[in-house]
Structure 1
Amino acid sequence: MRSFAISALREPSFTAGRHKSTDLVANESVDWARAFGLVNSGQIHRLQQADAAGLAGRACPDGPARGLRLLTDLISWLFVMDDACDEDGLGADPSRLAPVIAALLNVLDRAGDPRAVPPPEAGPLGAALHDLCRRTRAEGRAPMLLRFVSQVRQYLLALLWEASNRERRRVPGVTEYVQLRRHIGGVHPCLTLTDLASEQPPGPARRADPALTALDLLAVDLVCWCNDLFSYGKESRSGPDAHNLVTVIAQESGLDEAGALRAAADRFNRGLAAYQAAEEGLLASGVAALRSPLAARRNWVRATYDWSVVAARYA
């Protein structure tokens, strides 16, 4: 299925990069995950194979190493949470997942307060999440901390929607899926930490610009749809995954698998063309404050494609 994605998707034309500290951060992030108990000795290899630093290093090729490290640790945390839901069964049982989500929301309510202690029931996931919030707070940009906390909250609540669908064996409609996929993909908080790592993150006024908001959604959609196409083969081995763009298109349109794959690829390609046109319009405005956030979103689209081509996670 990877070969189909490579042949059917338009390769983003954006310049590719890689942070010089990627390899160093890769080792540090695995040690961080182990220190917080996110992985045991038998799970370390799976996390290493996921290559969170490889994705983060491409998405955040510039800036201080601490910014790359924070982003990498977040992606590692998301991978562990994703594996617990998708491969370890937690995400198929809302009654098991809900107490876990509640405890993690309790952690988010502390917003990284260094004097606070994460509740014991939050476990290793909660302790690690509190550390991510604490370090985000330490960067001294309160609006970005609050945005990060809100986006992780949306991600966690969307996991309950996903679990409910799995329990009921329900395939959502395309419109519903596209909206919720933006949250279960965990891309929004990753973009926030990428902005935080830049020398000129967008301020609140710029973040509210409708043109940048629309571009944000396009970038998030492209990252998620690219992920869906590259991961479809692995996710559908035991049957169609209800939370994949290919599956929801097939369900709603009545297309067979081959037709749904082509339709999903076409959706990505049209989205990429729309993204490039929207970005060109924003760049033509000549507003210097837009250069950094536009580069961050462009890097994320390119990084996701390049990382997906080689990711052992989708093998």
Structure 2
Amino acid sequence: MTGLRARFQMPPFYCPIEPALHPDADMIEKRAIEWLDRVGIYENETQRTRVIGTNSAEFFSRFTPEGVDDNVLLAAQWVYWGFAFDDVRCDRGPLSDRPDRFVRVAGRVQRVIEAPHSVDTADDPYLGALHDIGLTMRELATPTQVRRFIDAHRAWLHAVAWQIGNQARNEMPGLNDYITMRLGSCGGFPTMALLEIGNGAEVPAHEMDHPTVRAATEAAVLTAGLDNDLHSYRRELQQQHTDQNIINVLMHHEGHDLERALVEAVGLRDRIMQLYLRLHAQLLPEASNELRTYLTCLGKGIRGNVDWALRVPRYAAPSPPDESSTGSQHRTPVWTDTPSDRTPGPPAVPAISWWWDRVEHDE
């Protein structure tokens, strides 16, 4: 692991989208921390520091820089909750390699967001916090927005169960399976479903359900998911524990060394980023105001995810994950205007190759 750690160099990020931040991000963070203290999803000060240190209010404030304050707060609350749940019930803890037990917990979690009063939440602060989120969501969002979030939430939990099943069997998925799983397990679908809620703008069904919009959404989600793989890989090397990650998949199944796997991973990511930009430009001229806002915030989410990850202790700290870190450990972002791979067609990944079919070509 020491050799890999020395050889791993974070590549520059190709993302020709300007950064943005909600002007009330600090106030939203303050209110979110007050909510966290009230719902009590942590047991001690160390856990509290770790949850607050996810900087989730900043995270979502970068996705919706012109969002409605209360709605952005709601979204930030779910992001705080999601990171905490992921750490305690998914990536680590007694459920991290027990799919049988995780599925039971996930079923209860999903039912709480579907029908807030249908599950006893008294003995589980995570269920209680999500119950509170669900009630507030129904006050602030439209029924369609709530339903879209519920569906996205289910997709996330399903993919996490897949990931935990792989871990229980000590199985490294192949590239196509990994990409399919990562689309869901990275949490991008519920996060992007919160864009409509955060902005207070419901995208009409005939637009949101259009295959090209779906392709753009999935491309944005996977770009961010692969970026997170790159950010987390260094941390996992430092912990001497690497698991399911795009780099490990390419090393395991393709026989690549670290340097080659990193080049291939970044190349795939950059091809997907370019596709998102093409689909965004293609959709924008005839988009409604609501869809225009949604598409723009997908891009802000890709950029904001990188800006956030370069600062957050979760990824930037060289110290163990249970230790607090400060700004001195933030990495300086390195950007590039040039994608590392300009191949225009789809990659050899059937799970996502259909996205390229949605691109309109000039005759």
C-alpha distance 282-102 of structure 1, shift in aligned 2 (>3 A)? closer
Q: How does 1:188-227 map to 2 (within 5 A)?
A: 188-227=189-228
Measure how far apart 1:201 and its partner are: 2.7
Q: Does 1:102 align with 2:102?
A: no
- How many pairs are equivalent? 309
- Aligned residue for 2:321? none
Larger Rg: 2
Q: Does 1:76 align with 2:80?
A: yes
Equivalent AA in structure 2 for residue 175 of structure 1: N
- Aligned residue for 1:304? 305
Q: How does 1:126-205 map to 2 (within 5 A)?
A: 126-205=127-206
CA distance in 1, matches of 2:289, 2:72: 23
| Contact preservation (8 Å) 1:8, 1:262 | no
- Aligned residue for 2:22? 19
C-alpha distance 176-289 of structure 1, shift in aligned 2 (>3 A)? same
| Contact preservation (8 Å) 2:112, 2:119 | yes
Equivalent AA in structure 2 for residue 80 of structure 1: A
C-alpha distance 268-140 of structure 1, shift in aligned 2 (>3 A)? closer
CA distance in 1, matches of 2:274, 2:308: 20
CA distance in 1, matches of 2:288, 2:72: 26
- Aligned residue for 2:125? 124
Measure how far apart 1:236 and its partner are: 3.2
Q: Which aligned segments of 4 or more residues in structure 1 are displaced greater than 6 angstroms?
A: none
CA distance in 1, matches of 2:153, 2:286: 32
Q: Which moved more, 1:170-179 or 1:116-125?
A: 116-125
C-alpha distance 277-246 of structure 1, shift in aligned 2 (>3 A)? same
CA distance in 2, matches of 1:121, 1:199: 31
Q: Does 1:260 align with 2:265?
A: no
Greater percentage in helix: 1
Structure 1 portions without partners, runs of 5+: none
RMSD between superposed Cα atoms in Å: 2.1
| Contact preservation (8 Å) 1:103, 1:119 | no
- The CA deviation string for residues 207-240 of structure 1, in whole angstroms up to 9 with x for no partner, is 1111111100100011101111111111233556
Residue in structure 1 matching 2:51, options 43, 47, 54: 47
- The CA deviation string for residues 253-296 of structure 1, in whole angstroms up to 9 with x for no partner, is 11011211111111111111111112111124465443111111
| Contact preservation (8 Å) 1:228, 1:245 | yes
- Aligned residue for 1:241? 242
- The CA deviation string for residues 72-113 of structure 1, in whole angstroms up to 9 with x for no partner, is 101101110111122334212224323322321331341x4x
CA distance in 1, matches of 2:266, 2:253: 16
| Contact preservation (8 Å) 2:18, 2:303 | yes
Measure how far apart 1:22 and its partner are: 1.1
CA distance in 2, matches of 1:271, 1:91: 30
Q: Which moved more, 1:152-161 or 1:52-61?
A: 152-161
| Contact preservation (8 Å) 2:226, 2:269 | yes
- Aligned residue for 2:314? 313
Q: Report SS of the residue matched to 1:38.
A: coil
CA distance in 2, matches of 1:229, 1:302: 15
Residue in structure 1 matching 2:93, options 75, 88, 94: 88
| Contact preservation (8 Å) 2:145, 2:202 | no
| Contact preservation (8 Å) 1:68, 1:197 | yes
Measure how far apart 1:148 and its partner are: 0.8
Structure 2 portions without partners, runs of 5+: 318-363
Equivalent AA in structure 1 for residue 78 of structure 2: L
Equivalent AA in structure 2 for residue 58 of structure 1: R
Identical pairs, percent: 24
CA distance in 1, matches of 2:37, 2:305: 25
C-alpha distance 238-3 of structure 1, shift in aligned 2 (>3 A)? closer
| Contact preservation (8 Å) 1:170, 1:242 | no
| Contact preservation (8 Å) 1:16, 1:302 | yes
CA distance in 2, matches of 1:109, 1:48: 26
C-alpha distance 292-122 of structure 1, shift in aligned 2 (>3 A)? farther
Equivalent AA in structure 1 for residue 106 of structure 2: I
- Aligned residue for 1:36? 39
Q: Report SS of the residue matched to 1:4.
A: coil
